[in-house]
Amino acid sequence: SGAVRLVLGDQLSRNLASLRGLDRTQDVVLLAEVMAEATYVPHHPQKIAFLFSAMRHFAEELRADGVRVDYIRLDDPDNTGTLGGELSRAIARHGAARAIVTFPGEWRVWKPMRQWQQDFAVPVEVKEDDRFFCPIARFRSWADGRKQLRMEFFYREMRRDYKILLTPEGQPEGGQWNFDAENRKSLPKGLKIPPPYREEPDAITAEVLALVAERFKGHFGKLEGFFYAVTAAGAEKALNHFISHCLPLFGDYQDAMAMGQETLFHSILSPYINAGLLDPRRVVDAAERAWRQGHAPLNAVEGFIRQILGWREYVRGIYWLKMPAYADTNALNAHRPLPDFYWTGRTDMNCMAQVIGQTERLAYAHHIQRLMVTGNFALLLGVEPAQIEEWYLAVYADAYDWVELPNVHGMVMHADGGYLGSKPYAASGKYIQRMSDYCTKCRYDVKETTGTTACPFNALYWNFLMENEGKLRGNPRMGLVYKGLDGMEPAKREAIRAQAGRFIAGLVPAYPATGTERS
Ligand code: FAD
Ligand code: DLZ
Ligand code: SF4
């Protein structure tokens, strides 16, 4: 008898480690839609629909290729609701001699999986997930002995290791490793913005959309307008669309935000890459080729490649280096509850309403929206890290703990004490005004710090600096902002503190005061 090869919902790659060496006559590939995975946070319905439809399409492709597939649907009456339960049933059903699985993307899943070897009567082999550029062991040896880990240095090693954007002599193309200084332009009026790649739901997706609408009614997020591709071929088309239409201007307007222009020149490839439909190496190669062929400028291509070869690999490395302790730190001692409007979008702050509203419609927001609007607000307010982490893990189609947690816990909330980023990205309303048009349609005045119409980001910003003075003043990169605070009259400081206090007192918590878990 053969092996049961379990493929998780974010492992939909034909060259997956656990599918290699498959024996078509003996082995069975198992995919299972289970409630435990669909509800460990209240995922956006589009995220669940995307994954279920992609899983069903993947199963169809394998079958068409002559592979024996055992697919467990969510509404199968015998479904145990967990991955372990389904693997156990499948081993018995097929009389399998062993089970094979690829290393999962989340600590939460890995914890019980480590026990499977003991739990089940047959050997369970866990293969390394080699769909990343940097093996976990390679990251460990890079990190070993370093006091602080800096993405930039890691990224340079990756560029060298994989010979990406290098001259034949091994130097960075263009004479610099990083062209970010050129990538902070605000959006000129009238610039033509390409619509994102979209696909109409086919019959499989339509069936999944109906299932999700019925079974996950209470979850934040709309299903209407679902446009994600659900196959490797569709993801490849999305990649080609991005390279042709968006990549040339990706760098220039990477940090811009605009009402009614939710995706700008971003790729919207993260759901596909993270679920295994698109190989990150293919994406990086396609971008480099576009530069070598003169189709896109170096600032755009280098900036884009850095996100995937640099940031994406770096946050994964940190996750597996530091978990599980990483999630429990709270360096800024932040304990305020998440405000309810994160789950409703109902707030007078236009920037927040816009970003939360598009998140509800698309299960997508680009990096600066996540970092400098919803993230910045949570940082300034001092939200309990676990509460804001749950929100990010739930609401984006690309969200998995290994990538969401370092971005939110480290980059946004500074809860790791500066392990991932050397300073918090705290900013007042001025930043949002500079990088977007949100402030032009807001009830608040971004130029005011105190008073009934003052932009809440302003008082919260100064209040954040005051509340965390003991922890942040010594940070050399915060010197300038504390100088600004030092120059402030005591009466003004007091007025700001009072303004922030009133605003915070008026917020409604999303959860009951006692619990951080939403179940
Ligand atoms: P593009 O702007 O087109 O970038 C290209 C690719 O680079 C992305 O598809 C993604 O694979 C990668 N990338 C870019 N930035 C990062 C980053 N900081 N970390 C890891 N990969 C990156 N990304 C996720 O994939 N899942 C998450 O759950 C997630 N949560 C985030 C939470 C916060 C608070 C922040 C600030 C960032 C988060 N990111 C997350 C990173 C980033 O915002 C998204 O990858 C990006 O917005 C996806 O959209 P895109 O494909 O259009 O990206
Ligand atoms: C996110 C998700 C969801 C919503 N549903 C399933 C599922 O029903 N079956 C499955 O195998 N995987 C699902 N996933 C993805 C898993 O949560 C993901 O594989 C783990 O978190 C490991 O990264
Ligand atoms: Fe956001 Fe303040 Fe601008 Fe309103 S004024 S959109 S709250 S930054």
Estimate the crossing angle of helix 136-143 against helix 151-162, to 10 degrees: 130
pLDDT in tens, 332-361: 999 999 999 999 999 999 999 999 999 999
The residues near 291 (Cβ < 8 Å, ≥ 6 apart) are: 165, 173, 297, 298, 301
pLDDT in tens, 17-39: 999 999 999 999 999 999 999 99
Helices (H) and strands (E) in the chain, counts: 23, 5
pLDDT of amino acid 491: 97
Q: Which CATH architecture has domain 340-505?
A: Orthogonal Bundle (1.10)
Name 396's bridge partners: none
pLDDT of amino acid 512: 63
Instruction: Give yes or no for residue 308 CB within 6 A of ligand 1.
Output: yes
SS percent in the chain: helix, strand, coil, step 5: 50, 5, 40
pLDDT in tens, 301-324: 999 999 999 999 999 999 999 999
pLDDT in tens, 420-430: 888 999 999 99
Residue identifier of the C-alpha nearest atom 5 of ligand 3: 446
pLDDT in tens, 397-414: 999 999 999 999 999 999
How far apart (Å, rounded) are the C-alpha atoms in residues 483 and 27? 66
Residue identifier of the C-alpha nearest atom 3 of ligand 3: 439
The residues spanned by each domain of the chain are: 3-127, 136-322, 340-505
The CATH class for the domain spanning 136-322 reads mainly alpha
Is beta strand 69-72 parallel, antiparallel or unpaired with respect to 98-102?
unpaired
Distance 37 CA to ligand 2 centre (A): 5
- Cis amide leading into 324 (omega within 30): yes
**Mean predicted confidence (pLDDT) in 62-68:** 98
Closest CA to 425 of 415, 413, 437, 407: 413
The CATH class for the domain spanning 3-127 reads alpha beta
DSSP 285-300: HHHHHHHHTTSS-HHH
Instruction: Give yes or no for residue 370 CB within 6 A of ligand 1.
Output: yes
Residue whose CB lies within 8 A of the most ligand 1 atoms, among 307, 316, 390, 401, for a mutation test: 307
pLDDT in tens, 462-471: 999 999 999 9
Q: Is residue 317 within 8 Å of 134, Cβ to Cβ?
A: yes
**Mean predicted confidence (pLDDT) in 53-79:** 98
Closest CA to 132 of 366, 326, 365, 318: 318
Residue identifier of the C-alpha nearest atom 1 of ligand 3: 351
Ligand found nearest the CA of 443: 3
The residues near 295 (Cβ < 8 Å, ≥ 6 apart) are: 243, 247, 248
User: At residue 517, does pLDDT exceed 70?
Assistant: no
**Mean predicted confidence (pLDDT) in 469-488:** 94
What ipTM describes this predicted complex?
0.99
pLDDT of amino acid 519: 37
The residues near 487 (Cβ < 8 Å, ≥ 6 apart) are: none
pLDDT of amino acid 515: 41
Helix (H, G, I), strand (E, B) or coil at 235: helix
Residue 152: both structure tokens together: 């930039």
Closest CA to 429 of 443, 414, 445, 413: 445
Residue 90: both structure tokens together: 């499948």
Residue identifier of the C-alpha nearest atom 7 of ligand 3: 349
